[in-house]
Amino acid sequence: MTQKELHNARLIKEANEARMQMHTRRHFLKESAMGLGSLALGALLQSCGSGAPALPETTNLFDPAHPLSPKFPMFPAKARSVIYLHMAGAPSQLELFDYKPELMKLDGIACPPSLLEGKRFAFIRGVPKMLGPQAKFKQHGQSGAWISDRLPHLSTVADEISFLKACTTDQFNHAPAQLLIHTGSPRLGRPSIGSWATYGLGSENQNLPGFVALTSGGSFPDAGKSVWGSGFLPSVYQGVQCRSQGDPVLFINDPKGMSRDMRKASIDAINQVNQEEYKEYNDPETLSRIAQYEMAYKMQISVPEVMNINNEPQYIHEMYGTQPGRESFANNVLLARKLVENGVRFVQLFDWGWDTHGTDSSTSLDIGFINKCRSIDKSITALILDLKQRGLLEETLVVWGGEFGRTPMQENREGKENMFKGRDHHVEAFTCWMAGGGVKGGVSYGETDEIGYSSISGKVTAFDIQATILNQLGFDHEKFTYEFQGRPFRLTDVEGEVIRDILA
Amino acid sequence: MILLSLSELIGRFHPVVVHLPIGILALAGLFLLLPARGLFAGLRSSITPILFIGLISAVFSCITGYVLSGSGDYPERLIGIHQWMGIGVTVITGVILLMRIKTSEEKWQWLFGAVLLLLLLLTGHQGGSLTHGEDYLAQPLNSILGRDEPVIIKRKPLPDVQEAMAYAEVVRPVLQAKCFGCHSASKQKGKLRMDQPSLLMKGGKNGEIIVPGKSAESEMIIRILLPKNDEHHMAPKDKPQATEQETALLTWWIDNGASFDKKVKELPQPDPIKPVLLALEHEEEEEKSLPNIPLEPVEPADEQAIQALRDAGAAVLPVAAGSHYLSASFFIASDSGDLITPLLLPLKRQLAWVKMGNTKISDASLEILGQCVNLTRLNLNHSRITDEGLAYLAPLTQLQSLSLVGTPVTASGIAALKELKSLRSLYLYQTNVQQGDWQELKRLFPDVMLDSGGYKLPFLATDTQQVKAPARQND
């Protein structure tokens, strides 16, 4: 053997070894477990062949080659889509929906020690003063729902809404509380509700993502992108963040000098390489990657079309109070309607700037808070009415809420009274609401005590809200699981109960 | 106290011990049935010792069973039969044993074996019914046979609630519906029986459950209000729960003295209870929402037909796991018009939800959709259908929701749908229904939510104004 032949032989041997190393024990175990599992499942299913073919409880077996193809739920769904409007920072329930005349009488009086003993607040120290409602309340609609004059438009559709007056949480900081309400855990790493929904249902419109996240208010929610992240679910199920200003999705347009045909050719080439990669290593994530490239290519056409609100007629812009070209909550709300109309399952809106501590004018209950209310009032009302007149409200669940509530006491940061009127974070009582999607209208569920400090009946947790959303989408939250780290995980962990009293 | 719990402990061994005589005596019975000569002849000699061991275990089962029956956790009626049959098994075991010891005559012993087996089977079944409930086997059996779930008895409306007896006609029906299942003549869980006034007031093994005048101290109310996951919560998690109204009625009755002989009008009625009482004069509210697919199951659809529709760009799916009803939507195939609808025809019995919004279909497609008799939801927004086509939809008796937004239909065309019995919502935004037609449409569709759309929100000065921070003074 010549020197060269020896050299080549060694190279080939090394290459083979490298390949073997790539084919890890983990790969082997995963494949054999899958293989054996599907053999067993096949045998099981065959043996229950009594007439009708046995259907698995869910169809959510992750298909890496078509991760977003539409899938069916466990039972016939009342809601086909969800629009979740999250007011990041936590709006004050005491100025919007939870009317407490008794609290007005206590305005300015030092908070009794019984309300402070054993409690922790984010900023309140020492003895704060009670703060009466900073808005005027009236009853609205046939249901007589209490809504303040901060939301004059929403008051007109009170009879479409189910108010959850006694929401509670156990997290008094923004990021953990937001994670809890959107992912079922105050810590990072769990999939968001929208990811679960997309994992379970796929995308009905193959040209659009199943889960879209939109932000406004000048800042991301405190918990960052994790509130629409996919956690341990395959990454293809995370929310696709779209923008109402500039390109709807970053880098969606072809770069200068690149024609669409050329783009297609390059994506095909990349996918071919990925196919080879998949043949070699059998890693399902490779198939997901191929699918994502293909979807991105399709989205280049369909997303700009759906995300363009310029073509909406003038009366729609007037109704929503939208101004095309700006980044605004109202624009996002209109986009949400358009996305749902085109088959997107889950649209999540985050509007930042509701953290009304009263430390400056923008967080003051009588200045910044009023401006925030004005920025959402018309568009959320328009959303409900517009969905209704398109026959979509009965199959679209609209959810509105923050991550926690606000104290009946005026915040005294580090023991000193704040410059402006504001309230601290509060975990024991806040209001969320739902409309459409098989939820009753004109219902007020749950009650707080006479100063709005704690929930006394109809208590609702983040898990209950999640269970209810999944229920409306056709899933039993106790059976809808994903196998991870050796055990099945649920969105609601070991808790949550569907709020049946508000379901139609 | 120790003695009492000792007997309780012994009693709880019954479900364990009882399996010994079942197994042992079944073996003895089987051996007695086998022919005495030939292949099994060798087994004969083992029958006597088996019977002996079986007898001892049967006696122990009787003793533990008797002690357990005193706990009151089981329905008396069934206990009596079970007890005597258990004793019967023991006695017949003894008789056979004696016979075998006294004589070597084997001729009629197979008959005794058969009787023993039969008795054993029946007694065992009775015991199972006691622990797991009488419908333990019947329930899955019924669902296999496709029989319906038992219907829940409905409360009868009271003619005049003020004249009604507060206990007998208001409170008792609540207890009957939610408590008697485990706390009445047939079963007294926790030694509590609630179907007679004196026993209701006496309470259970933890004492009284009602403190007249003080609902907050009454165990019954406390337990109803406990979180559902609490192990002391009543009714148990998997049983029908007391509703908010029912709890309010019980609380109200206890707070006002828990009397058994007063009429409703003799008791004070604070504001919150008034609507609850008044509601008793009406039928229980019907479940308003219809299931959104037809109740009757349907045969599976042709897979090839589904695939053909998918290939044409539609998203076709079962509405849920285990259902053969289909949902079809045409988000991507929106350019295809009437060419695509014939593909629906092979699936005409399975399609329940169809979304053809923004497609270019016309009346020709409605002729096909009109044959999809199990449709419950149909969306034809912004398609090219007209009044003439709507007439084809008349056979869709299951249709609950129809959306015709942005189509040129008029009131006269819509009138053709007035026989659709299941229709609940009809969306008519941007159609050619004229202002004056709504009165007539409302008359034709009294039970249907007719949505005209065209909602407008007023311009308020505050919509665009911003509140400014007060100018800070320089100091």
CA distance A209 to chain B (A): 13
Alpha-carbon gap, residue B209 to A500, rounded angstroms = 28
Helix residue ranges per DSSP H, A312-434? 314-320, 329-341, 368-389
- Chain B residues whose CB is inside 8 A of the A381 CB are 457
Looking at residue A14, what is its pLDDT?
A: 77
Residue B43, token pair as written in the block:
């087994």
Looking at residue B400, what is its pLDDT?
A: 94
Asked if the model's pLDDT at residue A75 lies above 50, the reply is yes
Residue A59: band (very low, low, confident or very high) from pLDDT cuts 50, 70, 90: very low
Residue pairs spanning A and B at CB distance below 8 A: 125
Looking at residue A53, what is its pLDDT?
A: 34
Query: Does A373 fall in a domain?
Result: yes
DSSP per residue, B293-337: S-SS--PPPPHHHHHHHHHTT-EEEESSTT---EEEE-SSGGG--
Query: Does A255 fall in a domain?
Result: no
Q: What is the pLDDT of chain A when averaged over all its residues?
A: 88
pLDDT in tens, B107-160: 778 888 899 999 999 999 888 888 777 667 776 777 676 554 444 556 778 888
Query: Does A422 fall in a domain?
Result: yes
Q: Is B296 left (phi over 0), alpha (psi -120 to 50) or beta?
A: beta
Looking at residue A47, what is its pLDDT?
A: 41
Q: Are B248 and B273 in contact (CB under 8 A)?
A: yes
**Vertex B56 angle, CA B52 and B62, to 5°:** 140
Q: Is A160 on the interface with B (CB under 8 A)?
A: no
> How do the pLDDT tens digits run along chain B, 475 residues long?
556 678 888 888 888 899 999 999 999 999 888 887 788 888 888 888 999 999 999 999 999 988 888 776 676 777 888 999 999 999 999 998 988 888 877 777 888 889 999 999 999 988 888 877 766 777 677 767 655 444 455 677 888 888 888 898 889 888 888 888 888 877 788 888 888 888 888 888 888 899 999 988 999 998 988 877 778 888 887 778 888 888 889 999 999 988 888 888 888 888 888 888 888 888 765 555 567 888 888 999 999 999 999 988 899 999 998 899 999 998 876 677 888 889 999 999 999 999 998 888 999 999 999 999 999 999 999 999 999 999 999 999 999 999 999 999 999 999 999 989 899 999 999 999 998 899 999 999 998 999 999 999 999 988 888 888 776 654 4
Number of separate domains in chain A: 1
Q: Is A75 on the interface with B (CB under 8 A)?
A: yes
Of B315, B321, B429, the CB nearest to A59: B321
- Contact check, Cβ <8 Å, B315/A204: yes
CATH number at residue A189: 3.40.720
- The residues, ordered by sequence, that sit 6+ positions from A228 with a Cβ below 8 Å of its Cβ are A182, A192, A194, A195, A211, A213, A238, A239, A241, A348
Query: Does A263 fall in a domain?
Result: no
Residue A123, token pair as written in the block:
């900023």
User: Which of the listed CATH numbers 3.90.1150.10, 3.80.10.10, 2.30.38.10, 3.20.20.70 matches domain B303-451?
Assistant: 3.80.10.10
Residue A87: band (very low, low, confident or very high) from pLDDT cuts 50, 70, 90: very high
Query: Does A23 fall in a domain?
Result: no
DSSP per residue, B352-372: EEEE-TT----HHHHHHHTT-
pLDDT in tens, A5-52: 888 888 788 777 777 666 666 666 665 555 555 555 544 444 443 333
Within 10 angstroms of residue B467's Cβ, the number of other Cβ atoms is 16
CA distance B427 to chain A (A): 6
- Contact check, Cβ <8 Å, B467/A370: yes
Domain range for residue A433? 81-249+307-502
Query: Does A450 fall in a domain?
Result: yes
